[in-house]
Structure 1
Amino acid sequence: MGKYRVAVDVGGTFTDVFVFDEKSKDIFIAKTASTPTNPEIGVINGIEAANISGDDISVFSHGTTAGTNALIERKLPKTALVTTKGFRDVTEIRRGTKLDLWDAYKDVAPPYIRRRDRFEINERVDYSGNILVSVDEQEVIELARILKRRNVESIAISFMNAYVNGDNERSVKEILQRELPDVYISSSSEVLPEIFEHERTSTTIINSVLGPKVTKYIDVLQNQIKAKGYDGEILVLHSGGGVMTSENVQKYAGRLASSGIAAGAIASKYIAELCGFKNAIGLDMGGTSTDISLVYDGELKTTKEWYIEYGYPIGFPSIEIMTIGAGGGSIARIDKGGSLRNGPESAGSEPGPACYDLGGTEPTNTDANLILGRLNESLLGGEMTLNKDASQKALEPICEMYGYNEFEAANAILKVANANMSDALRLISVRKGYDPRDFALVAFGGAGALHSAYLAKELSIPKVIVPAHPGVAAALGCLLVDFRHDLTKTYVANTEDIETDTIEQEFLKMEQEAIKLLKNEGIDKKSMNLIRHLEMRYVGQWRSLEVTVGRHLTSLDAALENFHKEHERAYAFSNPDQSVEVYGFRIEAVGIVPKPELPKEEPVGTLIEALREYRNVYFEETGGFINTPIYHRPSVPVGSIISGPAVVEQLDSTVIIPPDFVAKVDNYKNIIISLKGVVE
């Protein structure tokens, strides 16, 4: 058995590696450039950069952007849809909505499956699950012949009302698997047995188009790591904030559509709890984008209304994350109206910001931070040197447009970036009924700590937490997750009519399936935690809210009371006299696994010993450049108090403490930043 727990998070710019030594409790990290064309190469490079061999690894956990990127880039296998006669165009009709309500000329992206590859079967199930028209085997065999001739690699099956009775879907799947044994097949009754044909069909299609690609990627990675000596399972993070084995990845490939993004949210929750905060907003700012999540009362908020491309929803439960195009590589530009904009376009890792000297010529947030002295010209422990002259040249068009000098232009770029992120923070908090003043801001990613203090000031967030290893915090999140599956079922009934025994029986059926999934992943019964949720809504409503319920229900009174309270919090309205109906059931099946415990540190050395140099750094609030102390973060002892202005540098990130802020280092080496006069 190895002694290292290894987690790898593949981002758009960097691949991050977090290594925890189970015996010594030591932590070490590595960062390598991502390889978008073959992401497994970046993973292997990261493991090699950490200088460990495969047989030293006891647990390998992995967050990947392979699914997300495949959908965005449309690099997908040839896939067919098989559906009920008359419903071939459900995925193209969608809901008839647009992302921008006022743009009549901007169309929604085309369906993932072209119309010529969507086929109809003569079958019918009524609303209550009665089979009115059974499947004709010869019709399916003929369809298989056509699909084989077209070299189809994957098939999605989605029949009307299959959510209440999936027998016809199962019959078709069995025939197609027999006739086309090498083709990947998903059926909606297995993937997402829920009402609403568009959402169910869309999720099944996404599961199917990702299946072959994601499965191949995991297989290649598994073989390459095995060749290095690791013979355990690759645990893959999924959208719901848990991990799956490679076997379940094959069945639920669509859950990897936001795999890497979820890791940062999990890490922010853990770090906030270490610091004593039950409410936290996670700010994961990388090279390409910023991912924002919210923890309330110790729980990450989840959603079932999400997508990678608008118009094609994914119905799997997912940690609620808002992603905006604001990263270190986000490009600043002047729009047609003469306004300064920032993002969402990014220079990424290739060619990267102008200062990378890899061919990039447009100004980015990284270039702006370098010009203002906030970033060192030497990064990643001296492995990367930034070219300030290239950054200055990239800023020239903005300087000429507004009559700025290079420092004013750089400061303006960062102010626009901060405004974009502040708006996103308001959307995930204020707009959903949460007061930012009740939260801590957990800032991580390679660039999060460069901007976090200004965002906190804008939203009156009292504390900013910068973890010990902010640049690889998302990778840490991959080590903090349990096995998790979410099983759902639509069931509509008025709470006045439904018997609690009926609810109990439905939950018991779902729990049996959940236990089977967890057993297949090696989880013993003592480590299983099955949490029940009821979807509820006022009669006549379209949307529902989820309420957690206990086992052995004898009454719905407590569930109804909690529903009214949650409705009041979410929408500033509730009506206890209004009839409520149950809309569906969900089982949150968690297989608890041992997690690394980060060690507490004792003070070693002094803050003066951690001081490396003084550098002129630009702060608008001081009227320009000010001689600023630069600290080496690994040498900063716990218990230290750092008064701004100050810069704290480390391998994977840079922390900015503005002039009117002060920071304290806790026993876990987290830097907690607050306005002067507020620090405890």
Structure 2
Amino acid sequence: MSRYRIAADIGGTFTDVVLYDKQTGKYQTAKSPSTPEDLSLGVLNGVNKLISNLKDVDFFVHGTTAGLNAFLERKGADMSLILTKGFKDIYEIGRANRPEIYNIQYRQPKRLIERRDVFEVNERMLADGSVDTPLNEEEVLKIIDTITERGLNSVSICLLHAYNNPEHEKQIRHWINEYLPHVSVSLSHEIVREWREYERTSTTIINAYIAPIVERYLKKLDDETKKKDLDSELYIMQSNGGVMTAEIAKKIPIQTMMSGPVGGTIGGTEIGQTNKLQHLICVDMGGTSFDVSMIVNGQPDVTSEAKLEKFPIMTPMVNIHTIGAGGGSIAWVEGGGLRVGPESAGSNPGPACYGNNGKEATVTDANLVLGRIDSEGFSSSDMQLDYRSAYNVIEKVAEKLDLSVVETAEGICDIANAKMADAIRTLTISKGIDPRDFALVAFGGAGPMHAMFIAEKLGINKIMIPSMAGTFSAWGMLQTDIRHDDVRTYVSTMEECDNGIMNRLYHEMKTDTDKILNQQKISEKDRVFTYLSDLRYAGQEYTVTVPLSSNEVTNQNLKHLITDFHEKHLNIYGHNNPEGQVEIVNLRLTGKGLLKKEQRSKGIDNKNGRASSPRSKPVIWKSVEKETTIYSIFDLTPNKSALGPMIIETSSSTVVVPEDFNVVLDSSGSLEITRRNHT
């Protein structure tokens, strides 16, 4: 019987690894510097710190940033786009609306594909899926010749109404595979089977843009883990909160775009269930970025459409808002004012205090100067921090501002905290959600250092710090199930919809999803399906997704569907129109393959911990130096409260607790922190 389950999360600065030992019921954690030149090296280096041979591992999952990095850095594939004749400019034109109408400096993002590499093919499907113009093979073969001449290595195909009838897309792929078997091919109906041509085209292009990079990365990691005797499948975290095998990920790499941050959201769901909290704001602060997500009514906030770098993506993903604010965010001076981020020192050279010849002042350097981090050791990475280097780079910034080093260090942290609070407001207050109704779950290497300060700015009174905060996203990946989402466009008023057609489309999606789950070796008894639909009032553009009350469309459950839509519309937008005509636009199905997992830990293996008697050291609080007690989390007594100010060191993070915050260690090893004297 296999003994271990392992997860790895690649961050901009560190790669986090969590190992669960089923015999002891305990977790072990490790951090290893990320290796941007070859991300698999950072993963393997972290794994080697915990286990040298993978023969006894029955579940290996990880979140990859390979696709996201290629997209953000514009280092994706050289690719082509094949469209229906007459629609060559659909990607270039996009939508006519201006997203930021009052921003005179707004610019559309640079397209991922040159217009010269966009090809038209003479074919035409009608909206009902019938063939109006057959596919012209001769034209397709000429396009293949041009792709060969230009050395393009990825092709995206997005034909008109292919969401209803994909046969022409499949035929073009067949010819490309026949003549160019080494070229990656992305078909729109396999990426997103939904109407709205521009959004579908954009989604397919992004998939094609990152596909060769993700394929190469996953192949190398798969080969390296096999060398270490991994017999089980290699699983990849999806943006929608589920996992998939590496083989499936190679076909739909766009689902890996937010796979790292999502692990923390799933972990937050587990924290909520353990502590009976239904509404949570999850914040992940690492070395490079600050990610915000929400859990509402015990479930992750999942959206069917998002934007990344101003490009629309129509694929289900956890709604995450990201800004460039992390421990490695660089402080700089512009126009006589102090700025922080979004540029980051990354993992190489990293903050000056890392001792890698970093020359820029960062948030981590500021925390070290303020005494909030122990210079003798840094989390489980076993790093010795260089206080003098941190002080020197902060001093250079202070001189430009004519401030003291302490004032500058506090200013850097205050600005970072304000930016992070604003990021939370973007996901809450700007949408009519009051963050004071939520608990804050803070994790990542730097999250627990700033959580209480952020909570103060937002009026949040309860903060949860998970037991493995520094590696929490990796831990969350061990709590996931396999997931596959499918969609079919079906437009009709609710009065005129055809139950037979809807049931046929749901059955078609279930059959396709069963095939995917079969490929991932999920037994029928471990499959769970959720049936949903996108509804709107007649005349509206966008929709509200509402679950069906059963797995079969009947007149009765359609009545319930309409009632639920009115109620959900009211909850989201503050108004509804119960007398208005309701239209159905899309049918959706979510299939889950339940995986065996140990959701409750007996504890954390303390081999990386520094249990010792509480000690004290000077720490700066609101510009005043105070002797402050430093605890190891392994010395805290469960269910016994303590009042800040204090600093709590864990195996993977440092928790900074200002005064007027009360701390309790719960039975699962998490810290429950509440604000005192709040109004």
Amino acid at match of 1:244: M
Change (3 A) 1:41 1:381: closer
Q: Could you tell me whether the CA contact under 8 Å between 1:601 and 1:667 is conserved in 2?
A: no
- Residue 224 of structure 1 deviates from its aligned partner by 0.5
What's 2:573 paired with? 571
- Residue 396 of structure 1 deviates from its aligned partner by 2.8
Amino acid at match of 2:592: V
Q: Mapping of 1:473-622 within 5 angstroms?
A: 473-549=472-548, 550-554=550-554, 555=556, 556-600=558-602, 610-620=612-622
**Could you say what secondary structure the match of 1:19 adopts?**
strand
Judge which range, 525-534 or 248-257, deviates more.
Answer: 248-257
**Could you say what secondary structure the match of 1:194 adopts?**
coil
How far apart in 1 are the matches of 2:34 and 2:643?
Answer: 36
What's 2:7 paired with? 7
What's 2:378 paired with? 379
Question: 1:417 and 2:416 equivalent?
Answer: yes
Change (3 A) 1:569 1:4: same
2:339 aligns with one of 315, 337, 341:
341
How far apart in 2 are the matches of 1:324 and 1:10?
Answer: 17
**Could you say what secondary structure the match of 1:224 adopts?**
helix
How far apart in 1 are the matches of 2:477 and 2:98?
Answer: 34
Gaps of at least 5 residues in structure 2 are: none
Q: Could you tell me whether the CA contact under 8 Å between 1:326 and 1:421 is conserved in 2?
A: yes
1:61-83 Cα distance to aligned partner (Å, 9 max, x none):
11111110010112222211111
**Could you say what secondary structure the match of 1:513 adopts?**
helix
Amino acid at match of 2:171: S
- Residue 349 of structure 1 deviates from its aligned partner by 1.0
How far apart in 1 are the matches of 2:194 and 2:209?
Answer: 20
Q: Could you tell me whether the CA contact under 8 Å between 2:379 and 2:654 is conserved in 1?
A: no
How far apart in 1 are the matches of 2:98 and 2:285?
Answer: 28
- Residue 405 of structure 1 deviates from its aligned partner by 1.2
**Could you say what secondary structure the match of 1:442 adopts?**
strand
Q: Could you tell me whether the CA contact under 8 Å between 1:305 and 1:313 is conserved in 2?
A: yes
How far apart in 2 are the matches of 1:600 and 1:167?
Answer: 53
Amino acid at match of 1:592: L
- Residue 208 of structure 1 deviates from its aligned partner by 1.2
What's 2:49 paired with? 49
**Could you say what secondary structure the match of 2:139 adopts?**
helix
How far apart in 1 are the matches of 2:57 and 2:603?
Answer: 25
1:146-172 Cα distance to aligned partner (Å, 9 max, x none):
212222211110111212222221222
Q: Mapping of 1:166-181 within 5 angstroms?
A: 166-181=166-181
Amino acid at match of 2:386: N
What's 2:671 paired with? 671
Q: Mapping of 1:93-492 within 5 angstroms?
A: 93-96=93-96, 100-310=100-310, 312-336=311-335, 338-377=336-375, 378-381=377-380, 383-492=382-491
- Residue 284 of structure 1 deviates from its aligned partner by 0.6
How far apart in 2 are the matches of 1:352 and 1:382?
Answer: 14
What's 1:77 paired with? 77
- Residue 474 of structure 1 deviates from its aligned partner by 0.3
Q: Could you tell me whether the CA contact under 8 Å between 1:72 and 1:308 is conserved in 2?
A: no
Judge which range, 284-293 or 371-380, deviates more.
Answer: 371-380
- Residue 382 of structure 1 deviates from its aligned partner by 7.5
- Residue 250 of structure 1 deviates from its aligned partner by 2.1
Judge which range, 188-197 or 478-487, deviates more.
Answer: 188-197
Amino acid at match of 2:484: H
Judge which range, 264-273 or 39-48, deviates more.
Answer: 264-273
Q: Could you tell me whether the CA contact under 8 Å between 1:272 and 1:442 is conserved in 2?
A: no
Q: Could you tell me whether the CA contact under 8 Å between 1:13 and 1:349 is conserved in 2?
A: yes
Amino acid at match of 1:178: E
TM-score norm. by structure 1 comes to: 0.95
**Could you say what secondary structure the match of 2:135 adopts?**
coil
How far apart in 2 are the matches of 1:219 and 1:64?
Answer: 13
What's 2:649 paired with? 649
Q: Could you tell me whether the CA contact under 8 Å between 2:34 and 2:42 is conserved in 1?
A: yes
How far apart in 1 are the matches of 2:138 and 2:106?
Answer: 43
Amino acid at match of 1:498: C
- Residue 401 of structure 1 deviates from its aligned partner by 4.2
- Residue 609 of structure 1 deviates from its aligned partner by 7.8
Q: Could you tell me whether the CA contact under 8 Å between 1:534 and 1:584 is conserved in 2?
A: yes
How far apart in 1 are the matches of 2:225 and 2:372?
Answer: 38
How far apart in 1 are the matches of 2:98 and 2:37?
Answer: 31
Amino acid at match of 1:352: G
- Residue 629 of structure 1 deviates from its aligned partner by 0.5
How far apart in 2 are the matches of 1:631 and 1:192?
Answer: 51
Change (3 A) 1:609 1:258: closer
For this pair of structures, how many residues does the alignment match?
670
1:364-407 Cα distance to aligned partner (Å, 9 max, x none):
11111111100111213573122222222222344234432111
- Residue 97 of structure 1 deviates from its aligned partner by 5.2
How far apart in 2 are the matches of 1:289 and 1:517?
Answer: 33
Amino acid at match of 2:569: H
Amino acid at match of 2:374: N
- Residue 51 of structure 1 deviates from its aligned partner by 3.2
Judge which range, 34-43 or 129-138, deviates more.
Answer: 129-138
Amino acid at match of 1:365: V
Q: Could you tell me whether the CA contact under 8 Å between 1:611 and 1:629 is conserved in 2?
A: no
1:229-282 Cα distance to aligned partner (Å, 9 max, x none):
112110001111111112211221111111112111111111222122111110
TM-score norm. by structure 2 comes to: 0.95
Change (3 A) 1:515 1:381: closer
Amino acid at match of 2:503: E
- Residue 677 of structure 1 deviates from its aligned partner by 6.1
- Residue 100 of structure 1 deviates from its aligned partner by 4.7
How far apart in 1 are the matches of 2:546 and 2:307?
Answer: 23
Amino acid at match of 2:361: P
1:344-364 Cα distance to aligned partner (Å, 9 max, x none):
111111121122232322221
**Could you say what secondary structure the match of 1:55 adopts?**
coil
Amino acid at match of 1:207: N
Q: Aligned-residue CA RMSD in angstroms?
A: 1.9
- Residue 639 of structure 1 deviates from its aligned partner by 2.1
Amino acid at match of 2:273: E
* Identity percentage of aligned residues: 36
What's 1:28 paired with? 28
How far apart in 2 are the matches of 1:343 and 1:146?
Answer: 43
Q: Could you tell me whether the CA contact under 8 Å between 2:27 and 2:601 is conserved in 1?
A: no
How far apart in 1 are the matches of 2:139 and 2:107?
Answer: 36
**Could you say what secondary structure the match of 1:74 adopts?**
coil
Amino acid at match of 1:341: R
Q: Could you tell me whether the CA contact under 8 Å between 1:19 and 1:29 is conserved in 2?
A: yes
Q: Could you tell me whether the CA contact under 8 Å between 1:155 and 1:185 is conserved in 2?
A: yes
Amino acid at match of 2:490: Y
Amino acid at match of 1:449: P
Change (3 A) 1:299 1:609: closer
